[in-house]
Amino acid sequence: MADISFPEPRIGPEWARRRIGAFRDAAAFERFAAVYREAMDALPRPDEQRTVDTAFGTVRVYRFGTGAGVPLVLMPGRQSCTPLWRTNLPGLMKSGRPVYAVDGLGEPGCSVQSAPMTSGADQAAWIDETLGQLGLARAHVLGVSIGGWLAVQVALHRPGRIASVIALDPASTFAPLSWKMIVVSLGSVLPGMPAGLRNRLLGWISGGIDNAADHIEGRLIASGMRDFKVSFPPPARPGDDELRALRVPVLALIAGKSIAHDPQKAASRARMLRAGTVEVWPEASHAISGEYPERIAERVAAFLREG
């Protein structure tokens, strides 16, 4: 069992007025913390647990494995955190490089936001500062959904430490959000939404399955949607000139059955990348990371060898 220490959380509506993510009340925090601990127990035991300081708050990072290779840093999606990677970690840890899983700042988890973040540059800053505090001169950054957007943002605004980006069906990065994804996003800001409807929204993300909340990852995201209020502006898509100017190698895996965006439009625009490798996985949904963990681990390993 992992010994997880929770920092003092942000709780209450006054934080939203300051544009800082927070749990809705003390009971909401306790509900989420219980699911988080249960979910962490399903992961390989971390080799290290650290909390580092940035200009925008304290960031929780878990290291899995050792090795001499350039580290791989994992960024989860919206309303999620480290346990999202339950099925991915065993395969990614075989790469011979340390794997660092980050709880996103301003999201539910063990990171604690202290200052507003109003732009992609702000998001890039805390990620770059986190890598610096960890002593990582170079890192590959892998993100899913909004985590893919975060990975691209740090490559755009703070590329000095970024060896490459792997973006798994990144939201609001290469194509506009779909109406379904906007509805799912609204579900994360409506605390009184019935559990059945919230589960249905999670099912949309996962390609239409009707039991998303039966899985620990689904319960974790459902708790985050219900119990935590994020306070970010909508993520801005990079402009065409920004994408063309990006020199960091990027592997973009686009889910063919994604509800986040039009997959073909996303893939077409991703091909603007100067050093991009773009693939559409036709049968994958926006929950691509959980659907294809072994295939993703193999593809990531091949991409990093090629680089």
DSSP for residue 194: -
Q: Whole-angstrom Cα distance, residue 122 to residue 157?
A: 9
Residue 165 lies in a domain: yes
Residue 120 lies in a domain: yes
- Chain segment 18-74, per-residue pLDDT in tens: 999 999 999 999 999 999 999 999 999 999 999 999 999 999 999 999 988 999 999
- Chain segment 226-269, per-residue pLDDT in tens: 899 999 999 999 999 999 999 999 999 999 999 899 999 999 99
- Following DSSP, what letter does each residue of 203-233 receive, concatenated? HHHTTT-S-GGGSHHHHHHHHHHHHEE---P
Residue 6 lies in a domain: no
Range of 112's domain?
14-306
pLDDT given at position 211? 58
Residue 131 lies in a domain: yes
Residue 8 lies in a domain: no
In the chain, DSSP finds a helix count (H) and a strand count (E) of: 12, 11
Residue 7 lies in a domain: no
Residue 306 pLDDT greater than 90, yes or no: no
pLDDT given at position 184? 64
Please count the residues of the chain: 307
Q: Whole-angstrom Cα distance, residue 296 to residue 292?
A: 6
The candidate with the shortest Cα–Cα distance to 191, out of 145, 232, 230, is: 230
- CATH number, domain of 130, equals 3.40.50.1820
pLDDT given at position 222? 84
- Chain segment 92-130, per-residue pLDDT in tens: 999 889 999 999 999 999 999 999 999 999 999 999 999
- Chain segment 189-227, per-residue pLDDT in tens: 555 555 555 555 555 455 444 555 667 888 888 888 889
As for how many domains the chain has, the answer is: 1
pLDDT given at position 261? 94
Q: Give percent of the chain above pLDDT 70.
A: 88
pLDDT given at position 61? 98
Q: Whole-angstrom Cα distance, residue 226 to residue 154?
A: 28
Structural contact between residues 111 and 104, judged by C-beta atoms closer than 8 angstroms: yes
pLDDT given at position 102? 98
- The answer, as to whether pTM is greater than 0.85, is yes
Q: Give percent of the chain above pLDDT 90.
A: 77
* Among the ranges given (138-152, 208-222, 283-297), the one the predictor scored with the smallest mean pLDDT: 208-222
